[in-house]
Structure 1
Amino acid sequence: MRVILEPPAGRAAPGPWKARAVEALTAARARQRRMLQGLPESVLVQQHSPLMSPLAWDVAHVANQEEQWLLRALGAPALVLAEVDALYDAFRHPRAARCHLPLLTPAQAFAYADRVRAAVLDFLASVPEDSDAPLLRGGLVYGLVVQHEQQHLETLCATLQLMTGHPYQPPVRPRPRPGRAAQGEVYLPGGLVRLGSDAPWGYDNERPARLAHVPGFLLDSHPVTNGDYAVFVAAGGYTDARWWDPTGFEWVRAEGIAHPQFWLPQEGGRWLRRRFGWMEPLPPDEPVQHVCWYEADAYARWAGKRLPTEAEWERAASGLAHAARSQPWGEAPWDAARANLDGDTWGPSPVGAHPTGTTPEGVSGLFGDVWEWTASAFQGHEGFVAFPYREYSEVFFGTEYRVLKGGAWASAPVAVRNSFRNWDYPIRRHIFAGFRCARDAR
């Protein structure tokens, strides 16, 4: 990994950020401990899926990244030897091979994380809040590290969902509030839209902010639900090549896939689903999740629609440029009434359960519950400049990955914004992803 010392032009001016950084770092670490407390060492070191790292690897990896960026990159001395860096280098070791490395034990990993955090908070006192240094402008590097930790906590949630030998029981499973979603589509007039972001804690792949014309289109007022998707399954959607991208249909046939991951068919057309440590009837009014891009694309074709582009999704969330908003509902800070984020619900809410998060134009559920697949490949925006290292975004640009927007129930608010870009392979189903449909306005 080669650090890039000069940021792209146009970054926001410095401002008070230390208190926000401490609060966000503390919240992320407290969430990690709540999630993993009580799990035996055998579970923490086990490879639960070739798609995922051992849980203890993520703990030490997060700490190592924090040490590298919030201590060493800012001039503080190293706490560990370079050999530890190598063990927790995500590019050097594929996930499926990490369980074979001489990793720190879980107790050592947690102790290392605590040692790093104490050093970071101590060193922070000497960091100037008004620095114009590239990594410190607006607290950029602290924002990147906080988001990195929270993104790994979402990864831990996915690993816990994949566990079979030791079913995970979340600390709580709140009863979802009832939904009151309007049905149908919303027409979104075309016009100039502000895309991307220059926010101090934004990633390089969101930059630069720019204006673009997005034509008018129709967008579903809420994500596709389990009940909607079950109709597609019952109609033989998985066996009809007309609806599928040819590569996706070949994958479905080769893998024997006939429904979303973690669904279990029952007699009479009913479904159960496996959620962490419990089995439950499939709630028809929740957004469908654990579907890949190919499945989302096939459903949209079957419904006579398509997936929205990334620009269309941002237009729905932000509005038109003359009245752009930073979040779907406006400028008020996130709270649990506006969107299902932060991981404490351990699953999606029924559509319409967060009416105060609806856009002024009537689109609901754009933040939280499920990541939403878009039609767009993951590419750099015009004017993209990698910062602070190319491996975060640039090496993934191309046609292999599809963009997801909006965050899921397991995502942290600090890592969800209109411009935030997630991406994954079009066959990935273990992530907390769903979708909504769009179509051209005629």
Structure 2
Amino acid sequence: MMTSKNLLELFTQTRSDSEKICQPLQTEDYVVQPIVDVSPPKWHLGHTTWFFEEFLLAPNFPGYQRFHEQYAYVFNSYYESIGKRVVRTDRGNLSRPSVQEVYEYRKHVTKLMQELISKHWNKDWNPVLEIGIHHEKQHQELLLTDIKYILGNNPLQPIYGAVSNEVLIENSEREFIEIKDGIYHIGHNSESFCYDNELPRHRVFLEPYAISSTLVTNGEWLEFMDDGGYSNTLLWHTEGWDWVKKNDIISPMYWFKNENGIWSQYLLSGSQAIDPKAAVTHISYYEAFAYAQWKGLRLPTEFEWEVAQSKINHGNRWEWTESAYLPYPNYQKPDGALGEYNGKFMVNQKVLRGSSIATPANHARLTYRNFFHAPLRWQFTSLRLAKSL
């Protein structure tokens, strides 16, 4: 368990990191919501602030007065038990509060949280503070990927700035690593922070399998495209095929042909031609499944991924798995509003493993279970192949 001093340092650094992500933005960039899944950067900054105000300052800080009585309505996300909220589709309609007012709100809450932690702290509040910190770290990843969507769908294709490993080239020979059948332990197994969906630790039986040591590359994906991968209905789930046809999907997200007919991609650092050696990125589960079908292989389950993680190179892309997002055996949802954090989403989603270049420091874990709906691909997603033995 972290000490209050450690938590204060982590809290302060986390609050600063969110604002650093937004430094390259113009004021107009903060308000845009091009699709329902992409929230305005201004909303992320306000929502992560509201979390600390709602769950720690309001109930615990002596004589606390809310910064603004309507901000709980404006910045609540999905905590139905807390009260009413602006629906997700309308976040982009919030021209007010202004960007400046949101930053003033952040400054106010950060200052009082620092005072609460340093002068009035009760260690019983540690779990809520840790969740709040890691909740903001989650939103930092969403911030960066939402910003990429906002800028990448602007016809001017504005440059955000350099991002490490946005073009990921794995300089290693691919091999299929064989894993024996047997009973394996899955789930978080230390005193460090984890989300409730990573618990409880439990056993699974796995049949023998092999898993690729590297991710699928752009060059391999171009072969899939050239072989009619996006027009062969036999490779796709029915739902995935409907998605392809309805949305005219012919390539990964952010790919386009330049004026010379060469496949290129939008990057936060500026558009450039596709590097065939780089890992394919920004694909949906539907696409990952279809590609695996085309190769005569499959995606690993999340349990196969976790058992093999020490033998594979990972951490730069979220990797789609074949596992549905479900509770582990004997999972217990936390009491109260924080019980809405993960448990309510355990339906109709797929698990991703591995973290990405957008995942903040001190946040990724080998047992981390990310989850998204099958058609979504604005995160830094990729795939690794597996096969049964």
Match of 1:45 among 31, 35, 53: 31
Aligned 8 A contact 2:169 2:279 in 1: no
**Per-residue Cα deviation, 1:23-70 (whole angstroms, up to 9, x for no partner):** 322332232222212533222123343332221111111111122223
The one-letter code matched in structure 2 to 1:95 is R
Aligned 8 A contact 2:46 2:75 in 1: yes
Mark the runs of 5 or more structure 1 residues left unpaired by the alignment. 1-14, 318-358
Match of 1:157 among 144, 148, 151: 144
Q: In 2 relative to 1, CA 382–127 (structure 1 residues): closer, same or farther, beyond 3 Å?
A: farther
**Per-residue Cα deviation, 1:222-260 (whole angstroms, up to 9, x for no partner):** 111112211111111011111111110111011111110
TM-score by length of 1: 0.79
Q: In 2 relative to 1, CA 126–385 (structure 1 residues): closer, same or farther, beyond 3 Å?
A: farther
Aligned 8 A contact 2:211 2:387 in 1: yes
What is the SS of the residue equivalent to 1:117?
helix
Structure 2 distance, partners of 1:27, 1:107, is 21
Residue 146 of structure 1 is matched in structure 2 by 133
Structure 2 distance, partners of 1:74, 1:215, is 50
Structure 1 distance, partners of 2:177, 2:102, is 49
Residue 82 of structure 2 is matched in structure 1 by none
Structure 1 distance, partners of 2:30, 2:373, is 26
Shift of 1:178: 6.3
Residue 340 of structure 2 is matched in structure 1 by 391
Higher helix share: 2
2:156 is the alignment partner of 1:169: no
Residue 171 of structure 2 is matched in structure 1 by 180
2:89 is the alignment partner of 1:96: yes
**Per-residue Cα deviation, 1:257-282 (whole angstroms, up to 9, x for no partner):** 11101111358984210113511011
The one-letter code matched in structure 1 to 2:205 is H
Structure 2 distance, partners of 1:432, 1:179, is 15
Residue 354 of structure 1 is matched in structure 2 by none
What is the SS of the residue equivalent to 2:265?
strand
RMSD of aligned alpha carbons: 2.3
Structure 2 distance, partners of 1:101, 1:16, is 37
What is the SS of the residue equivalent to 2:339?
coil
| 1:296-307 equivalences in 2 (<5 Å) | 296-307=288-299
Aligned 8 A contact 1:170 1:276 in 2: yes
2:78 is the alignment partner of 1:86: no
Match of 1:285 among 269, 277, 282: 277
2:21 is the alignment partner of 1:35: yes
| 1:1-400 equivalences in 2 (<5 Å) | 15-74=1-60, 76=62, 77-91=64-78, 92-101=85-94, 103-126=96-119, 131=123, 133=124, 136=125, 139-162=126-149, 163=151, 164=154, 167-173=157-163, 179-197=170-188, 199-265=191-257, 270-276=262-268, 278-317=270-309, 359=310, 361=311, 363-365=312-314, 367=315, 369-387=316-334, 389-398=338-347, 400=348
What is the SS of the residue equivalent to 1:146?
helix
Q: In 2 relative to 1, CA 238–171 (structure 1 residues): closer, same or farther, beyond 3 Å?
A: closer
Shift of 1:286: 2.1
Aligned 8 A contact 1:67 1:78 in 2: no
